[in-house]
Amino acid sequence: MTNPLRSLFESRSAISTSHELWEALSRGYRSVAGVDVTESTAMQVSAVASCVRLIAGDLASMPVDVIERLSERERRPAVNHPVRRILSQPNSWQTWPEFLAMQTAHVLLRGNGYSVIVRDSATSNGSEQIRELIPMNPDQVTVEQAPWPTLGVKYTWTPTGGGTPIPFKQSDVLHFRGLSTDGLVGRSVLRDARDTFGAALATQQHAATFWSRGGLPTVIITHPKTLGADGKARRNLEDSWAATYGGGADRRHVAVLEEGMTVQPLSVDAEDAQFLETRQFTRGEICGLFRVPPHMIGDTEKSTSWGTGIEQQGIGYVTHTLLPLIVAFEHRMNRDLLINRDRFGVKFYPQALMRGDSTARGQFYWQMRQMGAFSANDVRALEDLNGIGADGDVYLQPSNLVPLGFTPEPPKAASQGATA
> Model-level pTM?
0.72
Q: Left, alpha or beta for 372 (phi > 0: left; psi -120 to 50: alpha)?
A: left
In order along its 420 residues, the chain shows pLDDT tens digits of: 444 333 333 433 444 444 444 444 455 666 656 677 788 888 888 899 999 999 999 999 999 999 998 887 788 888 888 899 999 999 999 999 999 999 999 999 999 999 999 988 654 444 568 899 999 999 899 999 888 887 789 999 998 877 889 999 999 999 999 999 988 999 999 888 888 888 888 877 777 766 665 555 566 767 677 766 666 777 776 777 666 665 555 455 555 566 666 776 655 555 545 666 777 778 888 999 999 988 888 877 665 544 456 777 777 888 899 999 999 999 999 999 988 888 899 999 887 676 666 777 888 888 888 888 888 988 888 777 788 888 888 888 776 666 655 666 766 665 555 554
Q: Are the beta carbons of 43 and 56 closer than 8 angstroms?
A: no
Q: Computed from CA positions of residues 171, 169, 120, 101, in that sequence, does the dihedral angle turn out positive or negative?
A: negative
- Edge-first strand order for the sheet with 153-157 is 141-145, 153-157, 166-168
- Burial (CB < 10 A; 0-12, 13-18, 19+), residue 312, is exposed
Of the candidates 211, 207, 153, the one whose C-alpha atom is nearest the C-alpha of residue 182 is: 153
Cα angle for residues 393, 396, 398 (degrees, 5° grid):
170
